[in-house]
Amino acid sequence: MIHLYFDSKTGNVQRFIDKVVQITGWQASKIQKDMIVEESGHLVTFTTNFGKIPALTEEFLTQNSNRLFSVTSSGNRNWGRNFAVAADKASAMYDIPLAFKFELSGTMEDINQFIEIIKNQYYDSKRGSKKLDIA
């Protein structure tokens, strides 16, 4: 079973996750303060303040990065080079492969592409491979 952990402020990531879960049946858990994960999985978050990792996501990463196979972020293309940059920053800071970036709550094409990436691109639990870095 694939596990997704997500942070959503405006509901965009929540809508994206809801569609992914509806299609796949994967498990999804919204990040909570002081959350410790028992099942390894994938993180989906958002980018805030024109290029920052949300505080709750950062706390989650500090406590759980060793249990994450990949990171994905939503963003707004109006932010230019800062589009969904939270994923880039989390990937670099915590050595987690970058899986995908999508705008706002994503299109059906984005959702299907994300599902295919998660199903087919992460190869092991060691995170030794950067094969996910295709975003």
Domain ranges of the chain: 3-121
Mean pLDDT, each 10-residue run in order, the chain (135 residues): 94 96 96 94 93 95 96 90 92 94 93 93 48 43
pLDDT at 130: 42
Angle at Cα 51 formed by Cα 49 and Cα 53, nearest 5°? 85
Give the DSSP H or E segment for 70.
strand 68-75
Q: Please name the residues in contact with 80: beta carbons below 8 A apart, sequence gap of 6 or more.
A: none
pLDDT at 78: 84
Q: CATH classification of 3-121, choosing from 1.10.10.60, 3.40.50.300, 3.40.50.360, 2.70.240.10? A: 3.40.50.360
For the segment 2-34, what is each residue's pLDDT rounded down to a tens digit?
A: 999 999 999 999 999 999 999 999 999 999 999
pLDDT at 122: 59
pLDDT at 2: 92
